Amino acid sequence: MKFRGVNHLAMVTNDMEKTVRFYRDILGMPLVAAIGNTPQLPYRHYFFEAGPNSTIAFFEWPGMVEEFHKPAGQPATGRIQFDHVSFDVESEDALLELQGMLAKAGVEVTHIVDHRFIHSIYFTDPNGIALEASVWITNPTGLPEGVTDHSLLQDR
């Protein structure tokens, strides 16, 4: 058995409208499923397409989520379940385009960070969730041609 990737990552929001405006209208991720708000499922559960066979989902639980903000890759105080979500983009040009779109929409976004195997930008969604967009420079999930720095390929 081999995994094909992440089917969906489910998170929580207090405000589905703000979440839809950010993921669909700013990031351009299509809203591909919207369930709930029924007697059987009294809360909304929405899915946004992040790529082929890949979605990010939100449960709307008003009043259940504390205000939260933690920059990606920085230690946090208190309890925490994950650090950030990174979305894959197809090229350096796409990364620059997204950086410009976010800035134009009033979203605080970092400069491009060179991690040696990916280039990334960091920003935060309206729920305080730290996000990253990355483009692979050297793909550590395979054995890329010409790679000599095997410290990047830990288990290979």
DSSP string, 50-88: EETTEEEEEEE-TTTS------TTS--SS--S---EEEE
Q: Are 39 and 98 in contact (CB under 8 A)?
A: no
Question: Which of 2-11, 53-62, 123-132 is predicted least confidently?
Answer: 2-11
C-alpha dihedral sign at 51, 23, 84, 42: negative
Question: Is residue 152 pLDDT above 60, yes or no?
Answer: no
The per-residue pLDDT for 138 is 79
- Residue 114's alpha-carbon distances to 32, 108, 117, in angstroms, are 32, 19, 8
Q: How far apart are the first and last CA of the chain?
A: 19
DSSP 131: E
Of residues 81 and 23, more confidently modeled: 23
% of the chain with per-residue pLDDT over 90: 60
Question: Is residue 56 pLDDT above 80, yes or no?
Answer: yes
Q: Pairing relation of β-strands 130-136 and 85-88? A: parallel
Question: Is residue 155 pLDDT above 60, yes or no?
Answer: no
Domain 84-141 class?
alpha beta
The per-residue pLDDT for 61 is 87
Task: Please tell me the pTM assigned to this model.
Answer: 0.81
Round the average pLDDT of the chain to a whole number and report it.
86
Of residues 64 and 104, more confidently modeled: 104
- For 19, residues 6+ apart whose C-beta sits below 8 A from its C-beta are 13, 46, 58, 60, 125, 126, 127
CATH number corresponding to 1-63: 3.10.180.10
Which residues make up the CATH 3.10.180.10 domain(s) of the chain? Answer: 1-63, 84-141
pLDDT in tens, 123-149: 999 998 999 999 998 766 665 566 666
Of residues 124 and 71, more confidently modeled: 124
